[in-house]
Amino acid sequence: MASLSYAQLGEWQELIIALNKNIIFVNPNDLQIYKEVSIPEDLAKCDIISIDSHADDESQQNTKSKTPIEPPSIQHVQLSSNGILLAVTTAGQKALLLYQCRPEHAKLVSVRSLARASSAISFSANDKQLLVTDKTGDCYLFDCENYQQPGKLILGHLSVVYDVLLTPDEKFVITCDRDDKIRVSNFPNCCEIEGYCLGHKEFVSAIKLLPFDNQILLSISGDESLKLWNYREGRKLCDFKLPAPGIKCTIKQISENTCNLAVLLYQPNESVVEYEINKDSEGIFHIKELTRHSFDSIIVSGICYAKEKLYIAGIKNERFVIELVASGEKSENSLKVLTMISEYFENENPKPEDVSGWFRKNFDNVTEYYERKKRRIEEKSSKQDD
């Protein structure tokens, strides 16, 4: 699964692309890869590894015996807002890795084992803490200053958590899950639930705070809807119909009361739809569709805005590809950057993420019962006629 993200540090821009075991940093306006990260082949051999007390027996046994069953591969990547720390979670050998990116050239400073495979990660606003959720619904808090301190279990859901964020004032942790719930928990006492944002009918795949108003929460879902919430009150402010189930999204601010949102849809031609969200003078929110982009031959796995540009990453003909989504003709410089990135991952074997299991499976036992009953009646009637 390819990961794509963007960070801006003052005038400096970073496009961060990750696949399998490698991460590269690219300036979208440059033609050079200026930083590379390759995760270790065997995390158990790292001198700085710290065993998490919550890690499962199999994970601990694999780490201690130094005979891993499966090599690590990258799952999630996020750069801290100050650009100093890069957080990476891995599958195979399940772990959280922290790299110090400045002033060093991506120095590995921490390896902490995870109980289970991660489903989402998020830095706090001050970059001193990191939230990691897993596929059983648990959420752990990791210290980003004390690298040896194991993760602390702070809350749990009864199903997979697909996204998590800590509000800028660090008063609330907001999580969303496969059971169509958005939960707002007090922080750091997460056992105290502030409330819920309820109304989705399928999994909630992503949540974002509006960049121009961080009191408003945005959510997309497998029920083909985009919603805005006053998360403190659990009150729905706006409901907008998507063309298909929403899987991922990226957001950027345009002006004081306007932002653009790009949503990756779950459908055969892997469409990406861009929307404009704005708040009028009376405080009413409005959403309108701007444009749709289709990628018939690409299985899209990641999307992100880089200033005014929208990038998508995915798989084409079983190879990694990155594309700049543009309404007009792409510049020669942009094409060179995209080609350079694709060639870097030329020998990789990317695998698409299967999200079909995110949807609920409905079983109509009543229909099956009546069909069996109908057959029994027909068989009985047939015997009586004989």
| pLDDT tens string 267-295 | 877 789 999 999 999 999 999 999 999 98
Q: Which of 125, 195, 191 minimizes the C-alpha distance to 152?
A: 191
Q: How does pLDDT run across 104-136, given as a tens digit for each residue?
A: 788 999 999 999 999 999 999 999 999 999 989
Q: Does the pLDDT value for residue 55 go beyond 60?
A: no
Structure token pair of residue 234:
């659990």
pLDDT interval class at 370 (50, 70, 90):
low
- CATH number for 263: 2.130.10.10
- Give the per-residue pLDDT at 363: 47
Alpha-carbon torsion angle 40, 41, 42, 45, nearest 10: -50
- Better pLDDT: 286 or 43: 286
CB 263 within 8 A of CB 273: yes
SS3 143: strand
DSSP string, 159-193: S-EEEEEE-TTSSEEEEEETTS-EEEEESS-TTSE
- Give the per-residue pLDDT at 234: 96
Residues 6+ apart with CB under 8 A from 358: 160, 162, 178, 203, 205, 222
Alpha-carbon torsion angle 242, 183, 166, 6, nearest 10: -20
Q: Which of 323, 289, 197, 301 minimizes the C-alpha distance to 248?
A: 301
As a whole number, mean pLDDT of residues 27-51 equals 81
- Give the per-residue pLDDT at 201: 95
Q: Does the pLDDT value for residue 362 go beyond 70?
A: no
Q: Which of 207, 237, 236 minimizes the C-alpha distance to 220?
A: 207
**Peptide bond connecting 168 to the previous residue in cis, omega within 30 degrees of 0:** no
Please give the residue range of the domain that contains residue 317. Answer: 3-385
- Give the per-residue pLDDT at 14: 87
- Better pLDDT: 351 or 48: 351
Q: Which residue has the tokens 């270790």?
A: 40
Q: Does the pLDDT value for residue 75 go beyond 90?
A: yes
- Give the per-residue pLDDT at 68: 47
Give the chain's end-to-end CA distance (angstroms, integer): 63
- Give the per-residue pLDDT at 380: 67
Global pTM?
A: 0.87
Structure token pair of residue 287:
């959403």
Residues 6+ apart with CB under 8 A from 26: 14, 15, 16, 17, 32, 33, 34, 337, 340, 341
Lowest mean pLDDT across 56-60, 259-263, 315-319, 334-338: 56-60
Report phi then psi at 88, rounded to 5.
-135, 130
Q: Which residue has the tokens 């959720």?
A: 133
d(CA 130, CA 73): 20
Q: Give the count of domains, the chain.
A: 1
| Residues in a beta bridge with 152 | 141
Tell me the pairing of strands 85-91 and 161-166: unpaired
Radius of gyration of the chain (CA): 23
pLDDT interval class at 365 (50, 70, 90):
low
d(CA 382, CA 349): 59
Q: Does the pLDDT value for residue 144 go beyond 90?
A: yes
Tell me the pairing of strands 49-50 and 107-113: parallel
Report the chain's mean pLDDT, rounded to a whole number.
Answer: 87
Residues 6+ apart with CB under 8 A from 242: 220, 224, 225, 226, 263, 265, 273
As a whole number, mean pLDDT of residues 156-173 equals 96
CA 326 to chain centre: 23
Tell me the pairing of strands 95-100 and 33-38: unpaired
Q: Which of 288, 197, 202, 198 minimizes the C-alpha distance to 240?
A: 288
Tell me the pairing of strands 161-166 and 172-177: antiparallel
Q: Which residue has the tokens 């659990």?
A: 234
Residue 88, class by beta-carbon neighbours within 10 Å (0-12 exposed, 13-18 middle, 19+ buried)? buried
Q: Does the pLDDT value for residue 185 go beyond 90?
A: yes
What percent of the chain is predicted at pLDDT more than 90? Answer: 62
